Structure 1
Amino acid sequence: MAIVIRVIFAIFDIILIFILALSYDLTRPVNFTDTIFIPKGSSTKIISQLSNQNLNATRFDPRILSFIGTPHHGYLDIGKEPLTKIDFFYKLTVAKPVMINITLIPGETTVIFLKNLASKENLNFVEIEEDFNKTAPFYEGFLVPNTYSFAKGMSGSEIIKNLVHESEKFHQNLAKKYFGKYEKDKWIEILSAASVIQKEAANISEMPIVSSVIQNRLKRNMKLQMDGTLNYGEYSHMKITPERIKNDISKFNTYIYEGLPPTPVCTVSKEAIEAAINPIKSDYLYFMRDKRSGKHVFTKTINEHINQINIQRKIK
């Protein structure tokens, strides 16, 4: 009987020592603050990764972490306050992911946007463009200008998947609003007109007027002769010169070819699309940028247009 009692006390001592040791370990401070990256996977994988970042891990930590909750993955903001190990484990289950904002401005071209995205988020441009080509129904003009938020550390393919999903939803909803259904070819033609409007209009209020000029010139079989159509692709920010107009023989050169460009020349805002769908009624065939206001002066005849050109030449 005495032996049994001694064994029981010995077991109790071992358990007590274990509890004390575990409590001591879990209440020790850890050297993790601010932002931390947690890999996707099991608690064992997470603890293993953290061990490589100087966490004094034990074999019990994965079980303890799983018991507390489901750890989030990605870049997490765990705050600046010093943490004990048990507090740190809890933070891994409740901390909010660090978000990044990606902004696509109206008028930017898709290739420039994807290159900027790759550079900013350290992604492979070739890979994300390939992902985009595989998932987007068409290339230029498909992505919708907006500010998008993503969890930091999200893969390039996941970012592209989300961008495509949001843009597709936008196009289909807007097409159904105006036409009752979404027809890809018809919509691309509208976006082509909208992209010219986006490049040419000085502001949103001018967009329906520029749209009327486009439609009036098309009805008269006049070439559009608009510089903005040459700011396609890699040429998004290039100044259009007489030499460029002369030497660019692509279908985007509306000084050479009649009609709209074969595809949109850039990404477009909702306002530009609506202007393409609903141009104002006018007799305008020309417009000229006023150096003083930055806006355009719209005219109906070639003589009026030439007169405006002469006026602008006199302004220093």
Structure 2
Amino acid sequence: MTELSKEEKKQQRREQHQKLLNERRKEAGLVRKIVFSLLVLMILVAAAVAFGSYQYVMASLGPVDEEEPEEVEVEIPIGSGTDTIAEVLEDNGVISSSTMFRYYVRFQNESGFQAGTYQLSTEMSVDDIIQELKEGSVQEEYALSFTIPEGFWAEEIFARAAEESGLETEELIGTARDENYLNELIDRYDMLTDEILDEDIREPLEGYLFPARYDFIEENPDPEEIIEAMLDRMQAELNAALTGESDYTVHELLTAASIIEGEAQNDEERPMISGVIENRMRVPMPLQMDPTVSYAHGERLSRTFNEDTEIESPYNTYNQTGLPVGPINNPGVASIQSVENPEEHSYLYFYHSPEGDIYFNETYEQHQETVGQYQ
């Protein structure tokens, strides 16, 4: 065999190299085609999903029936929150999705819906209905009105409602403790869970009855109507106030908020006290909050003595770490928000002086020194 010259060998290597480059180019081109095809497919699928979602959203926000519209009389109860209003509208067939209605209202930051009787139509869009509910129906005189202060215990709320409505306190309490009714409420309200059915809890709805003014068209509403007006309001307030940043369940959050409500004398103190609770939970050490002792005793103590703190109760935070079994009163929005937004500090103790001033300390020795100045 004739040996190739140097020039021929170089030419042969160039040809082999070129052939290899051509093969790699073909492979790269094929890969690019596959990647491009996959990208196009993904874009088409995403576009189809987006278009389908858009169509669904627009259909949910549009009229239910424009071709054969029907007039529907809809009653929005006093105290109704967005969740209740959405369910009422869907049940009456004037919107197609209560879920989309709730999301849309929150996304648009709509509020100010008014109770009353409305003449709505299936040819109305969600925007039309929202505008109608904000403008309000013809105002009716309220036959019953009463106000629940922040920090009231459930039994105090029921006593106030009974006094104003003519109902018996025991009837309201009995309704609020009825297990079948409570299970119905758990199914209806996102904020309610089986936590309220714990056998150690004194009043299952403690903490969930929002403190506010309540107006009723009827002079003698049913116990359920009164209770649900307060639950509707609490659910609406929680939906608006909570950011989802807390690790607490709603039950735990309302429990912490109720302690803050019992301890704080003004809004400035609430985040500071919330910070103390956070710090003590982190140690961990007993919270040692006096309002929990009062609730454990079932009476509002003007002062808490050492013997008072010895009571055996799942509500007493002197003889256990962590939160009590449930809320000890019904807190307002400021206390609820302070649980999610505690003041960051290193205090573990605080003391209210007889003059109403509050003092925070990092150590027990400092705390004792502060207390000693007023005793």
- The answer, yes or no, to whether TM exceeds 0.5 is yes
Partner of 1:171: 238
The superposition leaves residues 210-264 of structure 1 with CA deviations (integer Å, 9 ceiling, x where unpaired) of 0111111111111111111123278352333333222x20011111111111111
Tell me the residue number matched to 1:251: 314
Q: Partner of 1:142: helix, strand, or coil?
A: coil
- 1:161 Cα deviation (Å)? 2.9
Distance 2:301 2:353 in 1: 20
Amino acid across the alignment from 2:358: H
* Distance verdict in 2 for CA 1:109–1:234, change over 3 Å: farther
- RMSD, matched Cα: 2.5
Q: Is the 8 A contact 1:111 1:234 kept in 2?
A: no
Contact 1:114 1:128 in 2 (8 A): yes
Cα drift, residue 302 of structure 1: 1.4
Q: Say which SS state the counterpart of residue 288 (structure 1) adopts.
A: strand
Supply the distance in 2 between the matched residues of 1:167 and 1:273 (Cα, whole angstroms).
Answer: 11
1:103 aligns with 2:147: yes
Cα deviations across residues 104-146 of structure 1 (Å, max 9, x unaligned)?
A: 1111111221122213322022332343342543411001111
1:114 matched to 2:171: no
Q: Distance in 2 between matches of 1:103 and 1:241?
A: 32
Aligned to 1:242: 306
The question of 1:309 aligning with 2:374 is answered: no
Q: Does 1:140 align with 2:184?
A: no
1:98–1:280 distance in 2 versus 1, CA, 3 Å: closer
Structure 2 residue 222 is the aligned partner of structure 1 residue 222: no
Q: CA distance change for structure 1 residues 214 and 105 in 2, over 3 Å: closer, same or farther? A: same
Indicate conservation of the 8 Å contact 1:108/1:236, yes or no: no
Which position in structure 1 is the counterpart of 2:18? none
Q: How does 1:1-316 map to 2 (within 5 A)?
A: 96-133=140-177, 134-135=181-182, 136=185, 137=192, 138=196, 139-157=205-223, 158-175=225-242, 178-179=243-244, 186-232=249-295, 235=298, 237-239=300-302, 240-246=304-310, 248-292=311-355, 294-313=356-375
Distance change (3 Å), C-alpha of 1:219 and 1:100: same
After TM superposition, the structure 1 stretch with the greater mean CA deviation from structure 2, 236-245 or 144-153, is: 236-245
Cα distance change on mapping 1:153 and 1:233 into 2, 3 Å: farther
Q: Percent identity?
A: 27
Q: Structure 2: 5+ residue runs without aligned partners? A: 1-137, 186-191, 197-204
Offset of 1:149 from its aligned partner? 1.3
Separation in 1 of the partners of 2:278 and 2:139? 54
Could you tell me which amino acid in structure 2 is paired with residue 145 of structure 1? P
- Does the 8 A contact of 2:140 with 2:217 survive in 1? no
Alpha-carbon offset, residue 287 of structure 1: 0.7
TM-score by length of 1: 0.62
Q: Normalization by structure 2: what TM-score? A: 0.53
1:297 aligned counterpart, secondary structure? strand
State the number of aligned residues. 214
CA distance in 2, matches of 1:145, 1:194: 13
- d(CA) in 1 for partners of 2:265, 2:147: 21
- Compared CA separation, residues 233 and 304, structure 1 to 2 (3 A): closer
Q: CA contact under 8 A between 2:292 and 2:328: conserved in structure 1?
A: yes
What whole-Å deviation, never above 9, does each CA across 1:267-288 have from its counterpart, x for those lacking one?
A: 0011101111111110101111
Structure 1 residues 174 and 288: CA distance shift in structure 2, 3 A: same
How far residue 172 of structure 1 moved from its aligned partner, in angstroms, is 3.3
Distance verdict in 2 for CA 1:132–1:302, change over 3 Å: same
Inter-partner Cα distance in structure 2 for 1:153 and 1:234: 35
